[in-house]
Structure 1
């Protein structure tokens, strides 16, 4: 089965590829198209009059949410027509900006720079069809994380962290056998975590629920699907076709047919592209991010937080030389992060602990997957074997 996902780290490094290539799938599919009506003569005259007004227009370009610390909206002067501000308001804004003691060029350049970098990255990764909706799609990606966030990492009885880790490890092997995209895996595990906390399931049906979640994720993300009989065969025909379809209906009704999820791999690749990370750093970050699927403690963190922690830990492990340009790019990529430094380092410690013990664990599917030539042998990196050094991250 051909791979249908667009999240391939090699695409990030190939900056000479055709920019006009039409992406296979896009987040813009989920966005409603704005109404573009034909303006009447009176409206055209009104817009022309507003366009002739003096250039002193003030727009709230960077509204920040205090609890989030992330840009959620942006307006460009050359893309929208805004009413002119009264002189006394303009003077107050000037005094406020002067009090910030920021360079004039830096103050004007940074918002536009962040916007263009995100636009370029999302277009390169095939996350949108029309660049006009870049910030709408990105804002929806950021806001949707809180919609289905899990408040606690505790599992209902009789399940344990080890039991769920074994199931996720097996799902990773099945996912690899079908050559599904990375989005399918992250969506499947997300659905599994939601289902376990909403449906009372016995241990005997745990594997069936896991396969159903993977099947639903494939229906949403893939172009080609496996037969139900194939899935039953992978479970050694422990469950019948009728049982699988019945559990699928039960899961869909419990989730109210809401299969939406913004996978952390999207935020990881966006940040990596903006930060100009090397292919090895990206592979290491993907490895650490996939290891987090086995950690029950990570389910209560936002996808953007998991992505930021994986990328930062990967840069710490690879230890590549940094230039002023790469550091500036990393600062721009860091604006996507949502949360506190304490949260970031908490996730990094969880990932570091999992990576240091991955080669000795029973759940080795991810370790084996990232020990090949295609993944640059990142799971065999010497820094991962030195557990005391790896776990001594300074907070």
Structure 2
């Protein structure tokens, strides 16, 4: 089942066939009959054909409502901008010669090219021909993964939810599940808490069931039900777990679809040519958003944009011309308004500054390893709120030390 989604990570060369040129590519190489020069024309006799007018991609009137704010499509029109300039060196040269306006004209065609290369490199698609269509669908449908309000039904609180999510992150690490499984599990948990009446005593069972369902959709190998019961110290039986699973599936109408903000983050970071440290820092900040109940009202692309911007601001890597050019191209994917981005960045900055003193430390420990470049222990995170002009409230540990 995990192999049916275009967003899934796929093992390489499982069904690899001989690569052939797509039919559309082959067809475009042939000149249509109505555009072929006459047989007796002067051009054919002289052996020289008049060059076709060059083309460029320009943005058209978007076929969506204003409140959606989604980049949907580009139309091909006649122009004088070369379509072959897809390299970073050529773009940087044009910036020096003609200024920023040239880059703005080239962005649509560059964006299409970069989207194809990026999604193919990340393993999100099989055929890069459909890269832009798939990304447009991701942008169009992401609003269904948000909630109108961050309030939880009684008797649940933000604190109990954060403790449960932190425990799920630990279980997720034990089973070595993919990151998509974690984001889907938390999304299912957010939906289930609002649609199913569950007591506090069954909250842990609900969380495990959401992780189990996410694993069934995203993973190839799953743990036994008895293993899940063992992780809950056998506080629930197999029958109770399977009954809760059936209940969750029925209440959610078997809808387990979700496009995680991680995919938007990786796409933007790849197009922007971000360094490994910036990407790991952004992934850490994005995972912290899972613990913050306030973040459920924001769209996945907005969360990814804010996490990437905050990571760049925290690390403050020296800018380069090629890096700024790539970031300008990636920023054209941004549909997040500046107030919304600032609001999310404030939430993530405060969460990162307080993470070390919180009881929920699973993400902090997870991103403190050498594999993740120790980003969670970066000293600049403690002063992240000050970078945004905020005052960071004291942590629980600091309050306990002050009381002593």
TM-score (norm 1): 0.78
* Greater Cα shift, 193-202 or 158-167: 193-202
User: Against the structure 1 CA distance between its residues 23 and 287, is the aligned structure 2 distance closer, same or farther, given a 3 Å change threshold?
Assistant: farther
1: CA distance, partners of 2:315 / 2:195: 40
Q: Which runs of 5+ in 2 are unaligned?
A: 16-22, 25-30, 38-51, 79-98, 392-404
Question: In angstroms, what is the RMSD of aligned CA positions?
Answer: 3.1
User: Against the structure 1 CA distance between its residues 387 and 341, is the aligned structure 2 distance closer, same or farther, given a 3 Å change threshold?
Assistant: closer
Aligned residue in 2 for 1:89: none
User: Against the structure 1 CA distance between its residues 204 and 338, is the aligned structure 2 distance closer, same or farther, given a 3 Å change threshold?
Assistant: same
Note if contact 1:23-1:126 (Cα within 8 Å) is conserved in structure 2: no
User: Against the structure 1 CA distance between its residues 23 and 355, is the aligned structure 2 distance closer, same or farther, given a 3 Å change threshold?
Assistant: farther
Aligned residue in 1 for 2:86: none
More relative contact order, 1 or 2 (CA 8 Å, 6+ apart): 1
Residue-by-residue CA offset, 1:14-52 (whole Å, 9 max, x unaligned): xxxxxxx94779xxxxxxxxxx99xxxxxxxxx934655
User: Against the structure 1 CA distance between its residues 377 and 148, is the aligned structure 2 distance closer, same or farther, given a 3 Å change threshold?
Assistant: closer
Note if contact 1:122-1:128 (Cα within 8 Å) is conserved in structure 2: yes
The reply on whether 1:139 has 2:123 as its aligned counterpart is no
Aligned residue in 2 for 1:85: none
Q: Count residues with an aligned counterpart.
A: 337
1: CA distance, partners of 2:100 / 2:288: 42
Aligned residue in 2 for 1:173: 170
Residue-by-residue CA offset, 1:226-273 (whole Å, 9 max, x unaligned): 111100110011111111111111111111111111101101111110
Q: CA deviation at 1:328?
A: 1.4
Residue-by-residue CA offset, 1:159-210 (whole Å, 9 max, x unaligned): 0000000000000000001011100000000010011111111111111110
Aligned residue in 2 for 1:217: 214
Q: CA deviation at 1:388?
A: 5.4
**Aligned pairs (5 A) from 1:284-323:** 284-323=281-320
Q: Secondary structure at the match of 1:236?
A: coil
User: Against the structure 1 CA distance between its residues 321 and 366, is the aligned structure 2 distance closer, same or farther, given a 3 Å change threshold?
Assistant: same
Note if contact 2:58-2:108 (Cα within 8 Å) is conserved in structure 1: no
Aligned residue in 2 for 1:254: 251
1:48 to 12, 18, 32: 32
1: CA distance, partners of 2:185 / 2:163: 15
Q: Which runs of 5+ in 1 are unaligned?
A: 12-20, 26-35, 38-46, 79-101
Question: Looking at CA atoms only, which structure, 1 or 2, has the larger radius of gyration?
Answer: 2
User: Against the structure 1 CA distance between its residues 387 and 319, is the aligned structure 2 distance closer, same or farther, given a 3 Å change threshold?
Assistant: closer
Q: Secondary structure at the match of 1:376?
A: coil
